[in-house]
Structure 1
Amino acid sequence: MHGAHDLLKAIALVMCVAAVTTVLFQRLRQPVVLGYILAGLIVGPYLPIPLVADTGIVQTLSELGVILLMFSLGLEFSLRKLFAVGPTAGLTAVIQCSIMVWLGFVLGRAFGWTSLESIFAGALIAISSTTIIAKAFDEQKIRGRLRELVVGVLIVEDLIAILLMALLTGISTGSGLSAGDLALTLGKLAAFLVGLVAVGLLIVPRIIRAVVKLNRPETTLVASVGLCFAIALLAQAFGYSVALGAFLAGSLVAESGEEKEVEHLIQPVRDVFAAIFFVSVGMMIDPAIIGRYWVAIVAFTVVVILGKIVSVTLGAFLTGNGTRTSVQAGMSLAQIGEFSFIIASLGLSLKATGDFIYPIAVAVSAITTLTTPMFIRASGPAANWVDRKLPKPLQTFVALYGSWLEQLREAPRKQTLGSSVRRNIGLLLVDAALLVGLVIGTSLALGKITHRVEEQVGLSESLAEKLVIAGAVILALPFLVGIVRVARRLAGELAAVALPLRAEGKTDLAAAPRRVLVLTLQVIIVLLVGAPVVAFTQPFLRGYTGPLIVLGLLGVLGVALWRSTTNLHGHVRAGAQVIVEALAAQSHAKAPGTEHSAPALEKVQVLLPGLGTPTPVRLEEASPAVGKSLAELNLRGLTGATVLAIHRGGENVSVPTAGEVLKPGDVLALAGTHDAVEAAKGLLAPLPEAPVMPGPSENLA
């Protein structure tokens, strides 16, 4: 037991040093989290500074910090919010986490770590930092679509992290990895989550609403914290981490509708104990270990930055965000933070990892925390550069892809989630589950099966093993082929909803864009299924068989997609010529660029449905776009909308080049999502005139 004097001394030392370091970091305009970590390094046992806090006391207090921090994260998560962020953020998070878990595992094995240590390494680099990003976005005043997307991805990542922690706990405390143990672990986890959420939804929201009605803030605070600790203790009693219980407690409280009130009350308490948690993280840093493992720290830092930028950008773009938003989201999420510390400390407490994992995680987090504000500031110019460097066919595809997905999202639910679509999704999940089960089962039972084949057939051990592996590959092929075929069928059904098929006997003018959309959706589905399958099976595979198969499939689909985008570019050029002819014909009757010119383009939309909803915009004399080229205006890079055609008196320009200079009276036909077109209209609109201040004589009058 710790004495009251020792407890007071530890708290005073930690809080005073943390106060000095955080003030210093705020003056330097750096994240205060780094100040807490530095304070922990100062009061820790590894530096020759006569300010050493009791490690046991600080670790005990830091547990409270973890619980309250996870409870606060749970308050931000609710079923309503998960539905609100929609499939975009969720699918992006699944793609990103799967890729990062695999990269972390492969890198850990490359350094000679055990399979379990490598799994923990993959898990701790998969989750970005909610705390760091929220602070950076507030400081740089990031709002709008980018913030909504990043926050949505973070919410789903937090949920994935909770599931990873529960799974890692089950694996680490089990008697070993086997197909039965793994299935039992997943079954217990699912039963615990379903049972706790089902019972909690009936009790916790009612309790919180009743307490809040008393209008006593201190009672609300005490009741909320009491529920938080009680559910955290319940999770621990079932063999899961207190972090999981605290997160679920926050989620259940959020369902009461009073989460804002509870969050406001608990924030000061959370901040105090969260500061102690981050200080305890710094106390775990041993400079000697960091010096010994500096190569691993550099390697993991590079993997975190590049892996997250590429995976988040890819996932965000494929799920319907423009190039600019996708690149900005990827560069914003290129760090790890509080969940990495929690996962690393979980590995230490379960004795599943060596003592080097924790300092490596902290060092990588510290470096990426420093780079995050710089990447967020540089994300806009980087997105513009990427947009400019895209080949012409891809620029055309990028401009129209968002409008196709918008049409798909706006379609009736019975079309996008009809019986046929649900059946195909079910087939995909069954194929993926059977493939994962086959790979894991074969890997875990390889020795026994090989021994039996060796005895019964009389082959050598190496030849028998190769025969067993070949048999497993043959058995796996139908599932692989099934995934590709069902993905193609599902993509075709969804594409037909966005770009409906024409009746037989009529020319299908949407064939080219629909073909591109089918291939793109097929890539998304294969990636969504393949990435988690690879992440799950890589610890049981030798070499890089799984990723090579997925990359091969994506490569074949990518080549087909490139050819289709080239055809699409020609289709758009022909469509743009039809658009300028429609605008020219309309200009003889009514003023183009007004609402009366819309019917002309509506006819074009009927004839060429793959071009989205072309919208005419007239450039006024006072428009800031007048006299600028399209490259200087950077309309597509800033808004996501593209100029399909320009009508200019007797001169018409279809698919204008980047060097085309805009003139007063030009009518631009814009294509893109509704939000992109509205943003483009705002950039093209004349600037409001400054109010004229009355002169002195007018004031006297």
Structure 2
Amino acid sequence: MHGAHEVLQAIAIVLCVAAVTTVLFQKLRQPVVLGYILAGLVVGPYLPIPLVANSEVVTTLSELGVILLMFSLGLEFSLRKLFAVGFTAGLTAVIQCAIMIWLGFVVGRAFGWTSRESIFTGALIAISSTTIIAKAFDEQGIKGRLRELVVGVLIVEDLIAVVLMATLTAISNGAGLSMGALALTTGRLVAFLVGLVVVGLFIIPRAVRAVVRLNRPETTLVASVGICFAVALLALSFGYSVALGAFLAGSLVAESGEEKVVEHLVQPVRDMFAAIFFVSVGMLIDPALVAKYWAAILVLTVVVILGKILGVTLGAFLTGNGTRTSVQAGMSLAQIGEFSFIIAGLGLSLKATGEFLYPVAVAVSAITTLTTPMLIKVSGPVASWVDRKLPKPLQTFATLYGTWVEQLREAPPSKTRGAVVRRTVVLLLVDAAVLVLLVIGTSLAAGKVSAFVEERTGLSRELANYLIIAADTVLAAPFIVGIFTLARRLGTLLAEAALPPRTDGKVDLAAAPRKLLIVTLRVVTILLIGVPVVAITQPFLRGATGPLIILALLVSLGVAFWRGATNLHGHVRAGAQVVVAALAAQSHSKEPGAEEHALDDVPKLLPGLGEPVPVRLEDKSPAVGRTLAQLNLRGLTGATVLAIQRGEESVSVPTAQEVLRAGDVLALTGTHEAVEAAKGLLTGDTPQPPIHGEPAGAHA
């Protein structure tokens, strides 16, 4: 137990030093999180400065900061929002975590660490820091779709972390990769979440509404924080993180409809304890250990930043979030945090890793905590730059892919198609599971089998090993082919749901978009199945067999994708002529409302171009006199201009240097959200999205 004076002394030292550093960083216009980390370095035990705070006391208090930060995050992210982005966030998190686990394992083996140490390395760099991102987003005012997507990915990552820790414990205790134990762990987690949500929805929203009706702010604050800590403690008692419990508590309170009142009251308390949390992170930085393991820390830091940016961006884009939001999400999630400490500590307590891994994890976390606010700040301009540098076919694809995913989500349900899709997914999972078991089983039994073959046949041990590998390859080939075939079948089913083929014998004008969508969905399926399979089996394989197979499949699909994207670009250019003709026809029409409905028939004539919307530029439009390049319309909103009608003149697929004039009618296409954002930018009805690095979440 800590004495009262010891706690008071720790709080006084931490908050006073943090106050000075944060004022300094505010003056320098830098994120205050960096000031808190610097304060932690100052009051930590590793610098010869006579201002040392008791690290145990600070760590205990910092736990309250994590709980209150997660509770506040849950307040603005109700269960309805979580379910809305759950599918997208889940796929993105699975792709990202699988890639990072594999990369971490490869790096660990490259440094000569044991297989267990390498597996733990992959696990600890796979999970991003919810606490750090929550604070950085609050500081920079990131809202809207970007925030919802990132928080959704973080919640799914936390659930993955729970399963990872159970699996790592089994491996470290010698229980191995038992599919039964893994299924039991996952089932317990799902049962806990469902039970908590169902019971919580009956009790917490009603209780919060009753307390708020008393109109006593202090009572509302005490009751809300009490609910937060109670649910966090409940999660901890079931073996899950307090962060997960606090987030669910916030989401349940948000269902009451009084989240704004509660958030306003909790914010000052949250900010104080959040400051202590970030100071505690700074206190863990030991300059001597950083110097000793600088090479591993540097490599892992680069892998975390680049790997997470790539993995999250890829996953977010393939699930239909557009270039800008995907890049911003990737750059927001490029760090590790509290779960990394837990996983590294788990390896230490189980004696599965050396003592070096914990300080390495802390150092990588501290460095990526420093870089996160800066990456978030520049993510908008970087996303715009990426969009500008994409080849024309990819720019066209990036715009239309979002509309296809949107159409797929809005496609009318079909019992027959749904049943076939579910059966195909089950077969994919079965093939993947059998493949994993085959590889692991062969690897574990290879020594005994080769000795048996050597004894019975007289063949050398090396030749026997080659024969076992050949036999394993022959046995695995049908399942690899099966995954590839099923991926194509699934892609075709989903693509035809989004862009139905014509059945009347007429020319199928959706053929080019549908073909490209099929290839893209195959890529998504292979990534979702193949990357986790490679991540799981890599410790049991020699060399880079698994990654090379995935790479070969993706390269072959990449060639087909590029051809499809090129054909799509030509399809869009031809379609733009139809849009021009429709705009020209309405310009001569005397009927009221003709302009508004000028493009209503285009989706029927040209499926795959989305639902083009006409927008007229008035004299006061902020877009008048500016080029499309200066507006950066596609980079900022995700919508693109198919055509421009200018009096008697028409422009099909305008170039970036096209100057917009008053009276121009622009045909915009993209997702509904992207088109609405573009209309606001063109007409001045909503604030222009920031360009020079300010928060852009609400417009992404």
TM range (shorter): 0.7 to 0.9
User: Is 2:229–2:246's contact at 8 Å kept on the other side of the alignment?
Assistant: no
CA spacing shift, 1:465–1:614, aligned 2, 3 Å:
same
**Matching of residue 251 in structure 1 with residue 255 in structure 2:** no
Q: Relative to structure 2, which stretch is displaced further, 581-590 or 400-409?
A: 581-590
- Could you give the per-residue CA deviations for residues 510-531 of structure 1, whole angstroms, max 9, x where no partner exists? 1111111111111111111112
User: Is 1:76–1:251's contact at 8 Å kept on the other side of the alignment?
Assistant: no
Q: Which residue of 2 aligns with 1:228?
A: 232
> Any idea what SS the aligned residue of 2:594 has?
helix
- The 5 A counterparts of 1:268-307 are 277-307=277-307
User: Is 2:234–2:245's contact at 8 Å kept on the other side of the alignment?
Assistant: no
Q: Which residue of 2 aligns with 1:112?
A: 112
CA deviation after TM superposition for structure 1 residue 630, in Å: 2.4
Q: Which residue of 2 aligns with 1:453?
A: 453
Q: Relative to structure 2, which stretch is displaced further, 225-234 or 336-345?
A: 225-234
CA deviation after TM superposition for structure 1 residue 197, in Å: 4.0
Aligned partner (choices 187, 207, 210) of residue 183 of structure 2: 187
- Could you give the per-residue CA deviations for residues 398-451 of structure 1, whole angstroms, max 9, x where no partner exists? 222111111111112336971111111111111111111212222222222222
CA deviation after TM superposition for structure 1 residue 130, in Å: 2.2
User: In structure 2, how many angstroms separate the alpha carbons of the residues matched to 1:669 and 1:69?
Assistant: 44
| Larger relative contact order, structure 1 or 2 (CA cutoff 8 Å, min sep 6) | 2
CA spacing shift, 1:195–1:666, aligned 2, 3 Å:
closer
**Matching of residue 659 in structure 1 with residue 663 in structure 2:** no
Q: Which amino acid aligns with 1:312?
A: V
User: Is 1:635–1:641's contact at 8 Å kept on the other side of the alignment?
Assistant: yes
CA deviation after TM superposition for structure 1 residue 534, in Å: 1.5
Q: Relative to structure 2, which stretch is displaced further, 626-635 or 4-13?
A: 4-13
Q: Which amino acid aligns with 2:623?
A: A
CA deviation after TM superposition for structure 1 residue 91, in Å: 1.5
CA deviation after TM superposition for structure 1 residue 545, in Å: 1.3
CA spacing shift, 1:268–1:160, aligned 2, 3 Å:
farther
User: In structure 2, how many angstroms separate the alpha carbons of the residues matched to 1:633 and 1:272?
Assistant: 41
Q: Which residue of 2 aligns with 1:673?
A: 671
- The 5 A counterparts of 1:199-210 are 200=196, 208=204
CA deviation after TM superposition for structure 1 residue 556, in Å: 0.7
CA deviation after TM superposition for structure 1 residue 496, in Å: 0.8
User: Is 1:431–1:479's contact at 8 Å kept on the other side of the alignment?
Assistant: yes
> Any idea what SS the aligned residue of 1:507 has?
coil
User: In structure 1, how many angstroms separate the alpha carbons of the residues matched to 2:620 and 2:518?
Assistant: 43
> Any idea what SS the aligned residue of 1:620 has?
coil
CA spacing shift, 1:42–1:579, aligned 2, 3 Å:
closer
Q: Relative to structure 2, which stretch is displaced further, 214-223 or 558-567?
A: 214-223
CA deviation after TM superposition for structure 1 residue 310, in Å: 1.7
Q: Which amino acid aligns with 1:311?
A: G
Q: Which residue of 1 aligns with 2:351?
A: 351
User: In structure 2, how many angstroms separate the alpha carbons of the residues matched to 1:185 and 1:678?
Assistant: 48
- Could you give the per-residue CA deviations for residues 624-676 of structure 1, whole angstroms, max 9, x where no partner exists? 33333322232222222222222333333222222233333333222211222
Q: Which amino acid aligns with 1:113?
A: W
Aligned partner (choices 606, 622, 631) of residue 629 of structure 2: 631
User: In structure 2, how many angstroms separate the alpha carbons of the residues matched to 1:601 and 1:209?
Assistant: 46
User: In structure 1, how many angstroms separate the alpha carbons of the residues matched to 2:511 and 2:195?
Assistant: 51
Q: Relative to structure 2, which stretch is displaced further, 563-572 or 82-91?
A: 82-91
- Could you give the per-residue CA deviations for residues 58-80 of structure 1, whole angstroms, max 9, x where no partner exists? 55666676677777777777754
Q: Which residue of 1 aligns with 2:542?
A: 542
- The 5 A counterparts of 1:172-571 are 172=172, 174-175=173-174, 178-179=176-177, 182-197=178-193, 200=196, 208=204, 212=208, 213=210, 217=220, 218=222, 221-222=225-226, 225-226=229-230, 228-235=232-239, 243-244=240-241, 247-248=244-245, 251=248, 254-255=251-252, 257=255, 260=259, 277-414=277-414, 418-571=418-571
User: In structure 2, how many angstroms separate the alpha carbons of the residues matched to 1:541 and 1:427?
Assistant: 24
- The 5 A counterparts of 1:613-628 are 613-628=611-626
CA spacing shift, 1:343–1:75, aligned 2, 3 Å:
farther
CA deviation after TM superposition for structure 1 residue 17, in Å: 4.5
Q: Which amino acid aligns with 2:232?
A: C
User: Is 2:71–2:250's contact at 8 Å kept on the other side of the alignment?
Assistant: no
User: In structure 2, how many angstroms separate the alpha carbons of the residues matched to 1:12 and 1:649?
Assistant: 71
User: In structure 1, how many angstroms separate the alpha carbons of the residues matched to 2:62 and 2:106?
Assistant: 31
User: Is 1:399–1:641's contact at 8 Å kept on the other side of the alignment?
Assistant: yes
CA deviation after TM superposition for structure 1 residue 466, in Å: 1.5
User: In structure 1, how many angstroms separate the alpha carbons of the residues matched to 2:347 and 2:271?
Assistant: 25
Q: Which amino acid aligns with 2:667?
A: A
Q: Which residue of 2 aligns with 1:166?
A: 166
Q: Which residue of 2 aligns with 1:587?
A: 587
CA deviation after TM superposition for structure 1 residue 159, in Å: 2.3
CA deviation after TM superposition for structure 1 residue 157, in Å: 2.2
User: In structure 1, how many angstroms separate the alpha carbons of the residues matched to 2:150 and 2:21?
Assistant: 29
User: Is 1:171–1:185's contact at 8 Å kept on the other side of the alignment?
Assistant: no
> Any idea what SS the aligned residue of 1:602 has?
coil
Larger Rg: 1
CA spacing shift, 1:450–1:270, aligned 2, 3 Å:
farther
Q: Relative to structure 2, which stretch is displaced further, 577-586 or 495-504?
A: 577-586
- Could you give the per-residue CA deviations for residues 75-120 of structure 1, whole angstroms, max 9, x where no partner exists? 7777544312142222222211211121111112111122222222
CA spacing shift, 1:351–1:60, aligned 2, 3 Å:
farther
CA deviation after TM superposition for structure 1 residue 600, in Å: 4.8
User: Is 2:92–2:319's contact at 8 Å kept on the other side of the alignment?
Assistant: yes
> Any idea what SS the aligned residue of 2:401 has?
helix
User: In structure 1, how many angstroms separate the alpha carbons of the residues matched to 2:262 and 2:451?
Assistant: 61
User: In structure 1, how many angstroms separate the alpha carbons of the residues matched to 2:77 and 2:616?
Assistant: 44
User: Is 1:71–1:228's contact at 8 Å kept on the other side of the alignment?
Assistant: no
CA deviation after TM superposition for structure 1 residue 486, in Å: 0.8
CA deviation after TM superposition for structure 1 residue 583, in Å: 2.5
User: In structure 1, how many angstroms separate the alpha carbons of the residues matched to 2:630 and 2:541?
Assistant: 51
Where structure 2 has 5 or more consecutive residues not aligned to the other structure, the ranges are 687-700
Q: TM-score, normalised by structure 1?
A: 0.87
CA deviation after TM superposition for structure 1 residue 262, in Å: 7.7
User: In structure 2, how many angstroms separate the alpha carbons of the residues matched to 1:211 and 1:287?
Assistant: 49
Q: Which residue of 2 aligns with 1:240?
A: none
CA deviation after TM superposition for structure 1 residue 618, in Å: 2.7
Q: Which residue of 1 aligns with 2:138?
A: 138
User: Is 1:211–1:220's contact at 8 Å kept on the other side of the alignment?
Assistant: no
> Any idea what SS the aligned residue of 2:599 has?
helix
Q: Which residue of 1 aligns with 2:639?
A: 641
Q: Relative to structure 2, which stretch is displaced further, 257-266 or 498-507?
A: 257-266
Q: Which residue of 2 aligns with 1:695?
A: none
Q: Relative to structure 2, which stretch is displaced further, 561-570 or 623-632?
A: 623-632
Q: Which residue of 2 aligns with 1:650?
A: 648
User: Is 1:233–1:245's contact at 8 Å kept on the other side of the alignment?
Assistant: no
User: In structure 2, how many angstroms separate the alpha carbons of the residues matched to 1:499 and 1:392?
Assistant: 23
The aligned length equals: 675
Q: Which residue of 1 aligns with 2:680?
A: 682
User: Is 1:308–1:330's contact at 8 Å kept on the other side of the alignment?
Assistant: yes
Q: Which amino acid aligns with 2:318?
A: L
CA deviation after TM superposition for structure 1 residue 475, in Å: 1.2
CA spacing shift, 1:482–1:336, aligned 2, 3 Å:
same
> Any idea what SS the aligned residue of 1:653 has?
strand
Q: Which amino acid aligns with 1:482?
A: G
Q: Relative to structure 2, which stretch is displaced further, 246-255 or 325-334?
A: 246-255
> Any idea what SS the aligned residue of 1:49 has?
coil
Q: TM-score, normalised by structure 2?
A: 0.87
Residue identity (%): 69
Q: Which amino acid aligns with 2:451?
A: H
User: Is 2:334–2:368's contact at 8 Å kept on the other side of the alignment?
Assistant: yes
